[in-house]
């Protein structure tokens, strides 16, 4: 099956089809060094896209905002956002625990909500 034709057939606009045709790379003609370089560039681009996605999610929360998250196998944790990191957010609990959390795992806490108590 020719995946290029299948993708072109599914694209709605003629301009999109032209763009895809211009972007097609015949990897069978690349040398090993060119393939390694292409791989590095692809990985770098994917990391950049992930960083931008994490950054956009991170900006949904502000420093000082109360948030919650649920660590694996533990009760929900409530704390305050204290810092933006490169790909994560630092959250400090009322007990002084410091957590580094992916922003996608955070949820805002309602202002009137009471933090869960430990037994």
What is the pLDDT confidence band of residue 5, given thresholds at 50, 70 and 90?
low
Helical packing angle, 3-10 and 14-23, nearest 10°: 150
Q: What is the CATH number of the domain that holds 75?
A: 2.30.30
Give the mean model confidence (pLDDT) for residues 8-23.
63
- Is there a domain that residue 45 lies in? yes
pTM of the entire predicted model: 0.58
Give the mean model confidence (pLDDT) for residues 108-117.
67
Which of 6-10, 14-18, 25-29, 76-80 has the weakest average pLDDT?
A: 6-10
- Are 95 and 78 in contact by the 8 Å Cβ rule? The answer is no
Indicate if 11 and 53 belong to the same structural domain. yes
pLDDT value for 50 = 87
**Whole-angstrom Cα distance, residue 18 to residue 20?**
5
Structure tokens of 54?
Answer: 């994490």
């Amino acid at each position: 099956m020719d995946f290029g034709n299948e993708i072109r057939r599914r694209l709605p606009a003629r301009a999109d089809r032209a763009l895809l045709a211009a972007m097609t790379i015949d990897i069978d003609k690349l040398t090993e060094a060119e393939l390694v370089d292409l791989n590095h560039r692809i990985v770098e681009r994917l990391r950049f896209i992930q960083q931008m996605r994490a950054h956009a999610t991170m900006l949904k929360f502000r420093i000082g905002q109360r948030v919650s998250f649920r660590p694996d196998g533990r009760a929900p944790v409530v704390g305050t956002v204290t810092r933006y990191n490169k790909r994560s957010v630092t959250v400090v609990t009322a007990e002084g625990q410091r957590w580094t959390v992916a922003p996608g795992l955070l949820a805002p806490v309602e202002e009137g909500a009471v933090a869960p108590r430990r037994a």
